Structure 1
Amino acid sequence: MEWISVAKKEIVINTSAEKVWEALTIPSLRNKWETKRCEIDFRKGGKIYLEYGRNVTFKGVIIEIIENEKLVLKDIEGYLTTWTIQSQDEGTKLSIEYTGNWVGDHDISEMENMLFRTFLFMLNLKNFIEDNYDQREQFWKSWLGLKMRTEIDRVKVVHVHENTPASGKVQAGDYIQAVNGEVVNHFDGCEIAITQQPVGSKIKLDIIRNNEKIKVTANTIRFGTLLK
């Protein structure tokens, strides 16, 4: 069975390492680009609680601190989150690395969703620091009810939520080739193409099912909701 142990994203921000460190470690600043509620007992062994909305939270402890360089967290399942900050000529490189054990389609889908979500917040941090702009309202506007993962260079549907626009049209095991005519070959691209559309948008999917090509059309609804 396929498994993944490390997942990583990085971004360069036009500011100092000290500014990035402050944005990561000061709760009032972190709330401006990532969380709705942030509690940090900032010491080795201290607890950290992050609340993002939509019932998404993180609970863990701090296991390593190197000021302006590295922050390592361990969640309640023992998985690690490592933030690394490196000064460069063009600014500061911020990296995040998740270390765990994701096995099978559903676990890998959850991992990719977590990594994608974090990367959007990292982009928002860049906007917040460079332009003093919070773009979280642009994230996750709508959905079709699909749970997906990347499989080599394809996007595989691993679950379809009941009472959503995709229910009865898309099946687990389908492969999404294109969204509104644009080829997608990775979770991130497919998720952006769907979830950043306004509610009520018509989405056209090119799908491979049992080696046959089919087309599916559905209208998005507000992210995380169900059809009435």
Structure 2
Amino acid sequence: MFDSPITSVKRETFIRTTPERVWKALTDPAERNRWETRQSSIDLRIDGKVELDYGWGVDYVGTIVEMEENARLVLKDESDDLTIWTLQAVEEGTVVVLEYTGLWAGALGFMTAEDMGFGTEQFLHNMKTMLENAQDNRDTYWTSWIGVNHHTLLTDTQKGTIIIKVIPGTPAEGILQEEDIILRVNDSDVEAFSDLERVVTMSKPGQPLTVTILRAGEEQQYTLHTVPFREKKAAS
């Protein structure tokens, strides 16, 4: 199933504004804090240092290795992995492409790559809504979880996302199991990693979720209550 490692994660969006406006949102620390980071420091030159604090316990430190104003920005981290931003002017706006290079192998690596892709989608969407409508959605991101690691099921016969680990002390413990295939959450079909993450992580803590799974060939349904993101459930 995982014969070849993943070496690139790429996402893109269209924004109804100019490349110059996108570039400013990307390279001006105060502007970047409006749509992505909680705190940022950007030395905008070749070999300049970039430090980004996203919140949720996630940060990034890299060095600028390539830069073309209003068009391309490439960062390299301490592992020599690249973060590549490309801006392309099109009719009525700009296509923004974000690509990460790296090496993600096995089930856990595949899940990590999917998680990066999902996070990228969230932040690119926020960049779009901020630049088009001055709307910041981050207070709805990663508010809750149920405590499962999972990845998109890689078969031609069944869609869903398969659990590879249940985190002890979370709502999923004792209810969901490794190798359960999640088919639906409430009334939303789950066909891929992001389908589950979007519903769960944007739910309010304490919200009940009806999770439909496939276990040993049989559909089963459970109700779980979310808890704040990365926290454990309260002791009963």
State the TM-score bracket (shorter-chain normalisation).
over 0.9
Give the structure 2 partner of residue 33 of structure 1.
35
Structure 2 CA distance for aligned equivalents of residues 210 and 99 of structure 1 = 37
Shift of 1:62: 1.1
Give the structure 1 partner of residue 49 of structure 2.
47
Structure 2 CA distance for aligned equivalents of residues 172 and 44 of structure 1 = 46
Shift of 1:194: 1.2
Give the structure 2 partner of residue 24 of structure 1.
26
The equivalent position to 2:218 in structure 1, one of 212, 215, 222, is 212
Structure 2 CA distance for aligned equivalents of residues 223 and 89 of structure 1 = 40
Decide whether the 8 Å contact of 2:9 with 2:116 is kept in 1: no
Give the structure 1 partner of residue 174 of structure 2.
168
Question: 2:60 corresponds to which letter in structure 1?
Answer: F
Give the structure 1 partner of residue 93 of structure 2.
91
Shift of 1:150: 1.5
Structure 2 CA distance for aligned equivalents of residues 58 and 151 of structure 1 = 30
Could you report, residue by residue, the CA deviation over 1:184-222 in whole angstroms, capped at 9, with x for unpaired residues? 111111111111112211111111223332222111111
The equivalent position to 1:196 in structure 2, one of 202, 206, 209, is 202
Question: 1:34 corresponds to which letter in structure 2?
Answer: E
Shift of 1:55: 1.4
TM-score (structure 2 length as normaliser):
0.92
Question: 2:206 corresponds to which letter in structure 1?
Answer: G
1:117 aligns with 2:119: yes
Decide whether the 8 Å contact of 2:166 with 2:172 is kept in 1: yes
Q: Per the alignment, in what secondary structure is the counterpart of residue 128 of structure 1?
A: helix
TM-score (structure 1 length as normaliser):
0.95
Decide whether the 8 Å contact of 2:8 with 2:102 is kept in 1: yes
Q: Per the alignment, in what secondary structure is the counterpart of residue 31 of structure 1?
A: helix
Consecutive unaligned residues in structure 2, runs of 5 or more: none
Residues 210 and 77 of structure 1, relative CA distance in 2, 3 Å threshold? farther
The equivalent position to 2:185 in structure 1, one of 171, 179, 182, is 179
Structure 1 CA distance for aligned equivalents of residues 209 and 169 of structure 2 = 17
Structure 1 CA distance for aligned equivalents of residues 50 and 178 of structure 2 = 36
Decide whether the 8 Å contact of 2:182 with 2:190 is kept in 1: yes
Give the structure 1 partner of residue 148 of structure 2.
146
The equivalent position to 2:230 in structure 1, one of 218, 224, 227, is 224
Shift of 1:172: 2.0
Shift of 1:154: 2.7
Could you report, residue by residue, the CA deviation over 1:27-64 in whole angstroms, capped at 9, with x for unpaired residues? 11000100011111211122111111121111111111
Decide whether the 8 Å contact of 2:15 with 2:95 is kept in 1: yes
Question: 1:223 corresponds to which letter in structure 2?
Answer: F
Question: 2:129 corresponds to which letter in structure 1?
Answer: N
Give the structure 2 partner of residue 156 of structure 1.
162
Question: 1:83 corresponds to which letter in structure 2?
Answer: W
Moved over 6 A (4+): none
Give the structure 1 partner of residue 81 of structure 2.
79
Decide whether the 8 Å contact of 2:118 with 2:194 is kept in 1: yes
Calculate percent identity across the aligned residue pairs. 38
Shift of 1:7: 1.4
Give aligned pairs, total.
Answer: 228
Structure 1 CA distance for aligned equivalents of residues 16 and 151 of structure 2 = 32
Could you report, residue by residue, the CA deviation over 1:98-124 in whole angstroms, capped at 9, with x for unpaired residues? 111100111221221122112111111
Structure 2 CA distance for aligned equivalents of residues 39 and 108 of structure 1 = 30
Structure 2 CA distance for aligned equivalents of residues 114 and 155 of structure 1 = 16
